[in-house]
Amino acid sequence: MKPFDYVRALGPGDATAAAGREGAAFIAGGTNLLDLMKLGVMTPSTLVDITHLHLDRVETTEDAGLRIGALVTNSDLANHAAVRRDYAVLSRALLAGASGQLRNKATTGGNLLQRTRCPYFYDTAMACNKRDPGSGCRAIGGVTRLHAILGASAHCIATHPSDMAVAMLALGAGVEVEGADGKRRVVALDDFYRLPGEWPDIETVLEPGDLITAVLLPPPPQGRQIYRKVRDRASYAFALASVAAVIRVDSGRIASAALAFGGIAPRPWRDGDAEAALIGEVPSREVFERAADILLADAQGQGGNEFKIDLTRRLLVSVLTEATEERT
Amino acid sequence: MQTRLHVNGTTHHLDIDPRTTLLDALRDHLRLTGSKKGCDHGQCGACTVLLNGRRINACLALACMHDHDEIITIEGLGGPDDLSPLQAAFVAHDGYQCGYCTPGQICSATAMLEEMADGWPSHVTDDLTGATKPDATEISERMSGNLCRCSAYPNIVDAILAVAAERTRA
Ligand SMILES: Cc1cc2nc3c(=O)[nH]c(=O)nc-3n(C[C@H](O)[C@H](O)[C@H](O)COP(=O)(O)OP(=O)(O)OC[C@H]3O[C@@H](n4cnc5c(N)ncnc54)[C@H](O)[C@@H]3O)c2cc1C
Ligand code: SF4
Ligand code: FES
Ligand code: FES
């Protein structure tokens, strides 16, 4: 590991000021950053410890939504009574991720900003535009089982690995950010992540020094909530594909549908047109297939991940079938 | 960098490089070599310790970030003359072959049983808001962060189930 200066921030102002230094990075749970620092993939010269900032509370907001502090651990969030009861898709997504040990350390902010699991990104001997902008992309034409079928570019085909962020996207979450000027703003999670384009090293709309202070959830949605994750082993593995669905059926027709996808794109993926194709329809296999057609119209395989196109289609149809089944 | 670690009830003052992981501080500086280094990347669970009562991977923690925290390692759970219930159950059920993963398994299971007692659901729990029952499926899911290269899984699960059953009887 490259040497670094360690700074313990005692207030958000401290944190954003220290993070303004060249080469500085925040550290929260450390479960992603330390892993990457050991490998020399990330080499911050200053580590700003934000774990003493008291951003570890889950509170009900004025509009009956939820405000989740950036330092709330993945375990505490998954086990929070209000989340289990009202935002089950989020509990389910968190419990489907990582391991008991990791969830006890991993934080809400860190989970949103975790880096890709592309094996070439992890291997400093390989060309990678995300790690080393302009060096090329060794994944293209390489082993691509984990890679994207939607939203990729000629410069990077990596996927975003988070489960939590997929559920939050389906729930319409917002990210509260404090800038170096001390001002707080809220960015819709749907506008938070950038597609790789020419610069896959820039993954979000955050500016240097920006601190995530919280994630905001709107009031609990009506309808059924499902998170389904497909992976290479039954537990403790990243998603090959996942779906978060919040679906409401009213008088035999689909009244609302929020769908987000993980493991298939450079960011948690949402497709308004696929959702719109469901609204007002009587649930049926044909209707679900049509939504899948729209979702996957631009899908492109990269060799080893070709299977994800069929997998995502079947996953979507299966989740929609379950979400719209009449309950006995 | 000056760091105070409370480990197994004893306070230690260490002067360490900030790069030192909690695992290396325990093993190399405090000579508590019960916690094992398998992968050093959060992928195996051999380094599992309890941090303020919760299980974590000590390889993905910086010691300097845990100034003043309470840490319990396998050495703190019990010794040859005073085995903890899980340690005794691993012996009784032959929950290991080479034993390398065992300290991590036992630390992990110790905290995992507390999580279950506190009503935490898991990925395989049917009802998120209902009760959890310790069966082999639940134990396997909840212990998935601890790999065993010898694949002693059936006996590990049996050992943990035995202690879980004892706890529900008590
Ligand atoms: C073996 C293994 C398996 C895993 N499996 C899964 C899985 O199946 N699903 C899944 O979703 N995840 C999985 N993970 C990833 C895990 O969820 C992340 O490592 C974790 O959520 C990161 O959170 P952290 O607090 O530890 O982040 P850190 O490692 O502390 O930080 C990550 C990044 O976020 C930045 N950051 C952190 N907090 C803030 C903030 N408040 N404001 C601004 N920047 C911030 C840091 O600077 C850093 O760049 C796995 C990890 C491992 C090691
Ligand atoms: S896919 Fe992206 S992360 Fe992977 S090697 Fe190519 S540029 Fe790097
Ligand atoms: S050594 Fe820490 S998880 Fe493997
Ligand atoms: S007993 Fe050998 S690794 Fe588990």
Are residues B22 and B73 located together in one domain of the fold?
A: yes
Q: Measure CB to CB from residue B123 to each of A51, A79, A235 and give the nearest one.
A: A235
Give residue-wise pLDDT tens across range A89-144: 999 999 999 999 999 999 999 999 999 999 999 999 999 999 999 999 999 999 99
Residue after which a domain boundary falls, among B77, B93, B123 = B77
Q: Which two tokens stand for residue B44?
A: 């195996």
Residue-level pLDDT at A69: 98
Dihedral sign from CA coordinates of B33, A101, A262, A151:
negative
Q: Say yes or no: B91 and B163 in one domain.
A: yes
Within 10 angstroms of residue A141's Cβ, the number of other Cβ atoms is 9
pLDDT in tens, A192-233: 999 999 999 999 999 999 999 999 999 999 999 999 999 999
The mean-pLDDT minimum among A179-183, A262-266, B106-110 falls in: A179-183
Q: Is B147 in the pocket of ligand 4 (CB under 6 A)?
A: no
Whether complex ipTM tops 0.95: yes
> DSSP states of A283-307 as a string?
P-HHHHHHHHHHHHTT----STTTH
Average pLDDT over residues A36-42: 98
Q: Which of A95, A115, A114, A109 is nearest to A28 (CA)?
A: A109
For A246, the enclosing helix (H) or strand (E) is strand A241-250
- Closest by CA to B113, choosing from B168, B60, B41, is B168
Q: Is the pLDDT of residue B33 over 80?
A: yes
**CA of A263 relative to ligand 2 center, distance in Å:** 14
Does residue B123 share a domain with residue B150?
yes
Query: Residue A325 and residue A320: Cα distance in Å, rounded?
Result: 8
Q: Which residue range is the domain that position B160 belongs to?
A: 85-169
CB B91 within 8 A of CB B156: no
> Crossing angle of helices B102-117/B153-169, nearest 10°?
40
C-alpha A324 – ligand 3 centre gap (Å): 42
Indicate the residue among B77, B101, B127 that finishes a domain.
B77
- Kindly calculate the radius of gyration of chain B based on its CA atoms and give it in whole angstroms: 16
Same domain, yes or no, for B7 and B35? yes
Q: Which residues pair with residue A244 across a beta bridge?
A: A227, A260
Three-class SS state of A96: coil
- Judged by CB atoms closer than 8 Å, whether chains meet at A88 and B128 is answered as yes
Residue carrying the six token digits 């500086």 = B29
Under the banding of pLDDT at 50, 70 and 90, the label for residue A157 is very high
Is B65 in the same domain as B89?
no
Contact criterion met (CB below 8 Å) for B47 and B58: yes
| A263 secondary structure, DSSP code | S
Domain total for chain B? 2
The predicted structure's pLDDT at residue A327: 78
Mark which of B77, B96, B129 sits at the end of a domain: B77
* This model's pTM is above 0.90: yes
Same domain flag for B59 and B122: no
Q: Do the bridges between strand A46-49 and strand A24-27 make them parallel or antiparallel, or are there none, so unpaired?
A: parallel
Nearest-Cα distance to chain B for A123, in Å, is 14
Chain B residues within 8 angstroms (CB to CB) of chain A = 1, 17-19, 21, 40-42, 45, 48, 51, 54-57, 60-62, 64-65, 108, 111-112, 115, 118-123, 128-129, 140-146
DSSP structure class, residue A41:
S
pLDDT bin (cut points 50, 70, 90) of residue A328 is low
- Tokens at residue B42, please? 């959060």
Report residue A217 CA to chain centroid gap: 15
Q: Which two tokens stand for residue A141?
A: 């034409």
Does the pLDDT at position A12 exceed 90? no
Q: Are residues B147 and B120 in the same domain?
A: yes
The number of C-alpha atoms within 13 Å of B7 and in the hemisphere containing its C-beta is 25
Measured distance CA(B109)–CA(A163) in Å, rounded: 25
- Residues B112-150: b if buried by 16+ CB within 10 A, e if exposed: bbebbeeebbbbbbeebeeebebeeebbbbbbbbbbbee
Q: Is the pLDDT of residue A147 over 70?
A: yes
| pLDDT given for residue B141 in this prediction | 98
Q: Is the dihedral of CA B96, B97, B101, B102 positive or negative?
A: positive
Q: Please write the tens of the pLDDT for every residue from A202-213.
A: 999 999 999 999
Q: Looking at the structure, do residues B61 and B93 belong to the same domain, yes or no?
A: no
pLDDT over 90 percentage in chain B: 96
Phi, then psi, of A327 in degrees rounded to 5: -85, 135
Give Cβ neighbours of residue B1 (< 8 Å, ≥ 6 apart): A6, B15, B16, B17, B18, B64
CB contact under 8 A, B129 and A96: no
Categorize the per-residue pLDDT at A15 as very low, low, confident or very high, splitting at 50, 70 and 90. Answer: very high
Q: What average pLDDT does chain A have? A: 97
What's the pLDDT at B166? 92
B90: left (phi over 0), alpha (psi -120 to 50) or beta: alpha
Helices and strands of chain B, counted as H and E runs: 6, 5
| Side-chain-facing half-sphere of A162: CA atoms under 13 Å | 25
Q: Are residues B102 and B158 in the same domain?
A: yes
- B37-89: per-residue pLDDT in tens? 999 999 999 999 999 999 999 999 999 999 999 999 999 999 999 999 999 99
B43 alpha carbon – ligand 1 mean position (Å): 14
**Same domain assignment for residues B51 and B113:** no
Bridge partners (DSSP) of residue A286 are none
Q: Do B17 and B63 fall into the same domain?
A: yes
Dist CA B140 CA B126 (whole Å)? 15
Residue with tokens 């009213």: A250
Give me the CATH number covering residue B109. 1.10.150.120
pLDDT of residue B140: 98
Taking every pair of C-alpha atoms in chain A, what is the biggest distance, in angstroms?
Answer: 63
Q: Is the pLDDT of residue A254 over 70?
A: yes
Do both B104 and B132 map to the same domain? yes
Stronger pLDDT, B168 or B100, i.e. the higher one: B100
Tell me the C-alpha distance between A93 and A91, whole Å: 6
Question: Which CATH number fits the domain that encloses residue B9?
Answer: 3.10.20.30
Contact A185, A177 (CB under 8 A): yes
Alpha-carbon gap, residue B95 to A232, rounded angstroms:
26
